């Protein structure tokens, strides 16, 4: 069945420089403009190609393949939808910001849907010289949140283990914001002693203290018109948290030794690897400060949660090592890395690859060039939780719990907290699934 698309709709999409298509409510591409055909190929006669097959090579609509589907959301709400997707193009995959809107007929009912695609600069799905790379779903979910929060002035809080790329994500928020032309000023809070904190952050006047021979502007002032990135905010002691709170509430500060209040003008992004909520409960972190910085939390996945990105990250990191030759990883070495835990995440991966690059004389990194802990990881993973085939979820849960119990060194209470369940639930599950409480010990 071929729907008749009004000529003016076709000529409108033809005038777009961006790839654009008209889609039926059941995912069929009814018309595509020149830019789309150039980037994605010709979808053929009207109604023959399905959007999710063309863009994703999926057999099912995106929402049934574990992704968001802007068409479905647009059908349901009748409103413009924006999403970030990874699209297949003949030259590889790329991150694309998709806009989907209904095209209404005379009756006011949506007859068709217009999809416009914008190339996203937030991250690359191919190796690049700088910035974020990745294409896994957990990584793409982060990008989607970055895309949403960046244009606002809301304070973003980046949560995640050390080395997961929080600083790069903070930079991406800045780069995609209206402050992109302003400065991006990172502040490592964990290194700031009480005496340094104020002068580093707020600057000082000449003669404010011994050694203050000239006026110095602080990091807050340096961030004027741009973004202030407070890394490891969870390490700021209570006594200093109140000073931060005052800055965020009044948007003013005084240089040390100064009288005049200075106006602050920055967008705030914070990061921590610590459980701030818990710290609020135990009184280690002020709740009022927590609510100020936590307007838009984004959890950055660990490398273990995005193993799919490992080959791309390796290729990218090896290229960025800039050692004057092109190094690749052997398939076996990659298998070892896939099975490894990476407690230090991408930073640890970079160090492992750097070390391997020094150990190899050839162009290929072999298992022998990897540190021992990576190679023992392989043995562990044989009885590890990730199966090579699709298995029932309850069997997966049984394997995963058994594996977690076997390798977790601490108390059950802490393991339960890591698993995000109560201690009672953990014991009940172990009992129901017949897992010995000391599995493997």
Ligand X SMILES: Nc1ncnc2c1ncn2[C@@H]1O[C@H](COP(=O)(O)OP(=O)(O)OP(=O)(O)O)[C@@H](O)[C@H]1O
Establish if 162 lies at the interface with ligand X (CB under 6 A).
Answer: yes
Burial class (CB in 10 A: 0-12, 13-18, 19+), 75: middle
Which CB, 99 or 341, lies closer to ligand X?
Answer: 341
CB of 136 to ligand X, least distance (A): 10
Q: For the chain, count helices (H), then strands (E).
A: 18, 18
Shortest spacing between CB 432 and ligand X, in angstroms:
37
* Contact in structure between 67 and 96 (CB atoms under 8 Å): no
Binder among 146, 189, 329, 346 for ligand X (CB under 6 A): 346
Confirm or reject binding of residue 144 to ligand X (CB under 6 A). no
Q: How far is Cα 218 from Cα 192, in angstroms, rounded to an integer? A: 13
CA gap 32, 115 in Å, rounded = 10
Q: Which stretch binds ligand X (CB under 6 A): 2-10, 58-66, 112-120, 165-173?
A: 165-173
- Only one of the segments 132-140, 207-215, 255-263, 430-438 lies at the binding site for ligand X (rule: CB under 6 A); that segment is 132-140
Query: What one-character DSSP code corresponds to residue 256?
Result: B
Q: Which residues in the 267-286 window bind ligand X by CB under 6 A?
A: 273
* 8 Å CB contact between 116 and 16: yes
Residue 168 as a binder of ligand X (CB under 6 A): the answer is yes
Let me know: does 115 contact 70? Beta carbons within 8 Å.
yes
Task: Count CB-CB contacts under 10 A for residue 169.
Answer: 25
Q: Does 165 bind ligand X (CB under 6 A)?
A: yes
Q: Is 174 in the site for ligand X (CB under 6 A)?
A: no
Is 328 an interacting residue with respect to ligand X (CB under 6 A)? no
Q: Which of 20, 23, 84, 133 binds ligand X (CB under 6 A)?
A: 133
List the one residue from 135, 166, 179, 369 that touches ligand X (CB under 6 A): 166
Structure tokens at 227: 């973004």
- Tell me which residues in 13-72 interact with ligand X (CB under 6 A): none
Q: How far is CA 391 from CA 88, 226, 395, 404, 405, in A?
A: 29, 49, 7, 18, 20
Cα(224)–Cα(184) distance, rounded to whole angstroms? Answer: 9
Using CB under 6 A as the binding rule, whether residue 231 contacts ligand X is answered as yes
Residue number of the CB atom closest to ligand X: 165
Long-range Cβ contact pairs of 50-59 (< 8 A, separation 24 or more): 51/21, 51/23, 51/27, 51/115, 52/27, 54/29, 55/85, 55/87, 55/88, 55/96, 56/85, 56/86, 56/87, 56/88, 57/88
Select from 66, 58, 100, 104 the least CA-distant residue to 83.
100
Q: Which two tokens stand for residue 369?
A: 């060039």
Q: Is the dihedral of CA 196, 199, 204, 208 positive or negative?
A: negative
Q: Does 347 bind ligand X (CB under 6 A)?
A: yes
Considering the rule CB under 6 A, would residue 307 count as an interface residue with ligand X?
no
DSSP 377-390: HHHHHHTSS--SS-
Report the residue number, 133 or 192, with the smaller CB distance to ligand X: 133
- Candidates 86-94, 253-261, 343-351, 417-425: pick the segment binding ligand X (CB under 6 A): 343-351
Determine the interface stretch with ligand X among 55-63, 68-76, 211-219, 344-352 (rule: CB under 6 A). Answer: 344-352
**Contact status: 125 vs ligand X (CB under 6 A):** no
d(CA 141, CA 120) in angstroms, rounded, equals 14
Nearer to ligand X, 199 or 302 (CB): 302
Q: Which of 63, 93, 99, 167 binds ligand X (CB under 6 A)?
A: 167
Q: Compute the least distance from the CB of residue 405 to ligand X, in Å.
A: 28
**Interface with ligand X in residues 422-441 (CB under 6 A):** none
Residue 221 contacts ligand X per CB under 6 A:
no
Nearer to ligand X, 98 or 158 (CB): 158
- Pick between residue 130 and residue 376 the one whose CB is nearest to ligand X: 130
Q: Does 203 bind ligand X (CB under 6 A)?
A: no
What's the min distance (Å) between Cβ of 135 and ligand X? 10
Contact footprint for ligand X (CB under 6 A) = 132-134, 160, 162-168, 231, 273, 316, 346-347, 350
């Amino acid at each position: 069945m071929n729907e008749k698309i009004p000529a003016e709709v076709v000529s409108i999409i033809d005038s777009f420089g961006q790839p654009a298509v008209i889609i039926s409510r059941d995912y069929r591409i009814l018309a595509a403009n020149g830019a789309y055909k150039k980037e994605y190929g010709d979808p053929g006669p009207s109604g023959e190609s399905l959007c999710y097959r063309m863009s994703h090579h999926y057999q099912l609509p995106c929402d049934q393949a574990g992704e968001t589907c802007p068409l479905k959301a647009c059908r349901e709400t009748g409103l413009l939808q924006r999403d970030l997707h990874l699209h297949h193009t003949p030259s590889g995959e790329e991150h694309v910001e998709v806009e989907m809107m209904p095209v209404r007929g005379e009756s006011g009912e949506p007859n068709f849907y217009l999809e416009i695609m914008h190339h996203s600069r937030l991250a690359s799905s191919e190796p690049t010289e700088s910035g974020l790379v990745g294409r896994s779903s957990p990584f793409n979910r982060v990008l989607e949140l970055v895309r949403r929060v960046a244009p606002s002035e809301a304070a973003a809080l980046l949560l995640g283990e050390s080395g997961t790329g929080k600083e790069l994500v903070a930079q991406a928020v800045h780069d995609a914001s209206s402050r992109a032309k302003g400065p991006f000023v990172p502040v490592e809070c964990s290194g700031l002693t009480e005496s340094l904190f104020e002068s580093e952050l707020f600057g000082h006047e000449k003669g404010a203290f011994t050694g203050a021979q000239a006026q110095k502007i602080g990091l807050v002032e340096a961030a004027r018109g741009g973004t202030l990135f407070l890394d490891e905010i969870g390490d700021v002691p209570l006594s200093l948290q109140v000073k931060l709170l005052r800055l965020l509430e009044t948007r003013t500060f005084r240089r040390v030794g100064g009288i005049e209040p200075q106006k602050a003008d920055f967008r705030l992004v914070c990061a921590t690897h610590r459980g701030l909520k818990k710290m609020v409960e135990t009184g280690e972190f002020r709740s009022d400060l927590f609510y100020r910085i936590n307007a838009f939390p984004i959890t950055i996945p660990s490398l273990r949660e995005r193993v799919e990105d490992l080959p791309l990250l390796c290729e990218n990191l090896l290229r960025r090592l800039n050692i004057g030759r092109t190094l690749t990883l052997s398939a076996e070495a990659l298998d070892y890395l896939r099975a490894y835990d990476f407690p230090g995440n991408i930073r640890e991966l970079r160090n492992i690859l750097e070390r391997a690059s020094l150990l190899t004389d050839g162009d290929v990194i072999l298992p022998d060039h990897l540190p021992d802990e990576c190679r023992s990881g392989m043995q562990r993973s044989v009885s590890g939780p990730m199966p090579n085939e699709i298995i029932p979820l309850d069997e997966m849960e049984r394997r995963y719990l058994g594996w977690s119990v076997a390798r977790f060194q601490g108390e059950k209470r802490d393991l339960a907290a890591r698993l995000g369940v109560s201690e009672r639930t953990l014991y009940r599950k172990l009992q129901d699934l017949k897992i010995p409480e000391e599995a493997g010990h």
